[in-house]
Structure 1
Amino acid sequence: MVFLLFCLLGTGCGASEYDPEVPANLAEAVPYPARNPLTKEGVALGRKLFFDPALSGNGKISCASCHQPAKAFTDGKALSTAGITGKQLQRHVPTLVNVAWMDGLFWDGGAKDLESLSFGPLTHPDEMGQNLAALVQKLQQHESYPGLFKKAFGSDSITSAAIGKALAQFERTIISGNSRYDKYVRNEKGTMLNDKELKGLVLFRKHCSSCHTSDFFTDNKYHNNGLDAAYSDENEALAFGRGRITRKPEDIGKYKTPTLRNIAITAPYMHDGRFATLEQVLAHYRTGVKNSPTLAPELQQQGKTGIPVSAEEQTLIIQFLQSLTDDAFINAPVADN
């Protein structure tokens, strides 16, 4: 019966179920939609597609051109120029860490799930600049892709939907949860945080965890964190953030709370990469928050904007954040092609 169900769901009848290991302080298992269960063959196909520049219109740009494993699947730039036209993009490249648990994707939540996530970058004229029909034809004529799609999905007739599913399967395996902080909260032998990091953790939980919740370090919601006092409606209201998607005035200026995992190696920061260092980020929250009608209530305390921390406390919080770097994840063979 399970074998038949997998076939009916569109998963290759020869495909093997895949259950990635999940750190205990994150979740019990990787979630996925019934229409796209994880299989070893689907994940392997998605990984190959992710690193393959053939997916772009000029055959030179892969998903990994901007989402680089060594930088926790970011690119280290404020606004990328790695796309097919070389034009500067208008959003900072977000990490793909633990996207399996994300509710809404992109900085404004414009993609509802991982199955639809890739089509924007694939077809955007300044990113991968690909025509989906041309991509399907290219992969159909490839020496190995038809066989790989048949193993993963039961048919060597390649579709754009199957491309999206394969990429989504791989992206659900991009899991980070083995930093020193994780080992500390799991009470793993021989792992400790030093005194300054522990003080920083206390301060973090007091001042930052209302939005960067749980061990995913995100509440999966959208907030206006006071970067600007006004938001232009030019360029298709790109500056509206979440408001651009919902068209609700109360969402203008709100952006998705990013995870803080591996934050020390994913600079620069914010949806437009405006801050080069963590020191600049914390300084913004201390003294740089700008008021506007949709400013997050958490940034309006005691009749003032911002978060009331001292310069010394700022330093301690940053020292804690550095304990969130997951070296095993950054160097994992599964993250390479």
Structure 2
Amino acid sequence: MKIYRLSFLILAALSLGCSKDDAEYIENPQFDLRVPANFSEPPEFPDNPLTTAGVALGEKLFFDSKLSGDNNISCATCHKPELAFSEGSALSTKGISGKPLLRHVPTLINLAWSQNGFFWDGGSKNLESQAFAPLAHEDEMFQDLQELEEELKAELEYIELFENAFNSEIKINLVMKALAQYQRSLIFADSKYDKYIRNENDVELNQQELRGYSVYLDNCAQCHQSDLFTDDNYHNNGLDATFLNFSNDEMFLGRYRVTRNPDDIGKYKTPTLRNVAITAPYMHDGRFNSLKEVLDFYNSGVQESETLDPLLIQNNKIGIELNADDQEALLAFLNTLTDSKYL
């Protein structure tokens, strides 16, 4: 097993409105981010390298309901460890307003490798800035950031944790950095598939799972690239034929909302297939309740539009046709991607 050793923390005032006062050289034990043998090495984050104190602070913040305006909702309210840091409903109503969100809550799996934007349309460039949106949104955590800073400063434990992690007093941009560090520490790579592919503990896939692995390689791997099981990119997978007849039009235009490129209309980020058996429902709007519904959709429900991904047009037919046996085999393989470490 490789261990990717990150250098000692050197905070630089390069992002999130950091002041020159933040740019201090601090010795703080590095966090040994585990890099599984079947993974590539993750990118470095020189503006926010992982440290043991930073990850610990981020974990405490992640589970602390003080981050919400009414002090009742934490990040973990909608990103539940037992559901691989997903939420379990199509459109969550667990936010402070109780209103359904406009998009399905994504899982938080192996984000240390994600480099191409966050949210379903890539509306945030990095994890450090991503957290601002749910914290401030009126239907999610609806927290006044200045008020949050004062709440945290009222606790001696947080004062000490920020000093240990960043050699600094409590600042909102450091809250975001700590949350990002914790999320990047969440590595999912100990499923049955992983042990098989790494030849660990004599783990073998059975005949049906091996057939399903072959079906995956032939039909799914171009977008759900192993071993992260995502290409970290955006695709129109044919969920809808038109995109302008919805309410809240901008939220339903996919990647176009960010890029303003017409070629990106209807494109959403490829979710990972890791732990997919326990992160139902599926798609950016949670419209499918089961993996069987997903496979049936790809088999006969894909809708044509100008930006439909060419990968979904095979032999002049739209979709991915799998017979019943291949579907069952693929479902068996997908279940081998469940890693229960954090569940």
- TM-score (norm. length: structure 1): 0.93
1:80 aligns with 2:92: yes
**Cα offsets for 1:147-206 (capped at 9, x unmatched):** 1111100112x2111011000000000110110000101011320111000000001100
Match of 1:159 in 2: 171
Q: Is the 2:117–2:124 contact (alpha carbons within 8 Å) kept by the matching residues of 1? A: yes
- How far does residue 293 in structure 1 lie from its aligned partner after superposition? 0.4
Give the SS at the match of 1:84: coil
Distance 1:214 1:200 in 2: 14
Match of 1:321 in 2: 334
**Cα offsets for 1:62-102 (capped at 9, x unmatched):** 00000000100001111100000111111101000001111
Equivalent of 1:310, from 323, 328, 331? 323
Q: Is the 1:14–1:154 contact (alpha carbons within 8 Å) kept by the matching residues of 2? A: no
Match of 1:97 in 2: 109
Q: Is the 2:68–2:142 contact (alpha carbons within 8 Å) kept by the matching residues of 1? A: yes
Count of aligned pairs: 326
Distance 2:12 2:290 in 1: 49
1:204 aligns with 2:211: no
Equivalent of 2:276, from 263, 280, 286? 263
- How far does residue 235 in structure 1 lie from its aligned partner after superposition? 1.3
Match of 1:15 in 2: 28
Equivalent of 1:26, from 25, 36, 39? 39
Distance 1:299 1:57 in 2: 44
**Cα offsets for 1:86-143 (capped at 9, x unmatched):** 1111110100000111121110001111111111011000000011111111111223
- How far does residue 6 in structure 1 lie from its aligned partner after superposition? 2.4
- How far does residue 328 in structure 1 lie from its aligned partner after superposition? 2.5
Give the SS at the match of 2:341: helix
Match of 1:242 in 2: 255
Q: Which range moves more in the overlay, 319-328 or 11-20?
A: 11-20
Q: Is the 2:10–2:47 contact (alpha carbons within 8 Å) kept by the matching residues of 1? A: no
In structure 2, relative to structure 1, the CA distance for the partners of 1:7 and 1:240 (3 Å cut) is closer
Distance 2:234 2:243 in 1: 16
Match of 1:138 in 2: 151
More helix by share: 1
Match of 2:243 in 1: 231
CA RMSD of aligned residues (A): 1.5
In structure 2, relative to structure 1, the CA distance for the partners of 1:91 and 1:117 (3 Å cut) is same
1:147 aligns with 2:151: no
Distance 1:123 1:24 in 2: 38
Distance 2:187 2:63 in 1: 17
Equivalent of 2:57, from 38, 41, 45? 45
**Identical positions, percent:** 52
What letter is aligned with 2:95? G
Runs of 4+ in 1 over 3 A off after TM superposition: 7-12
1:175 aligns with 2:187: yes
What letter is aligned with 2:54? G
- How far does residue 254 in structure 1 lie from its aligned partner after superposition? 0.3
Match of 2:229 in 1: 217
Q: Which runs of 5+ in 2 are unaligned?
A: 1-6, 14-22
Match of 1:277 in 2: 290
- How far does residue 14 in structure 1 lie from its aligned partner after superposition? 4.7
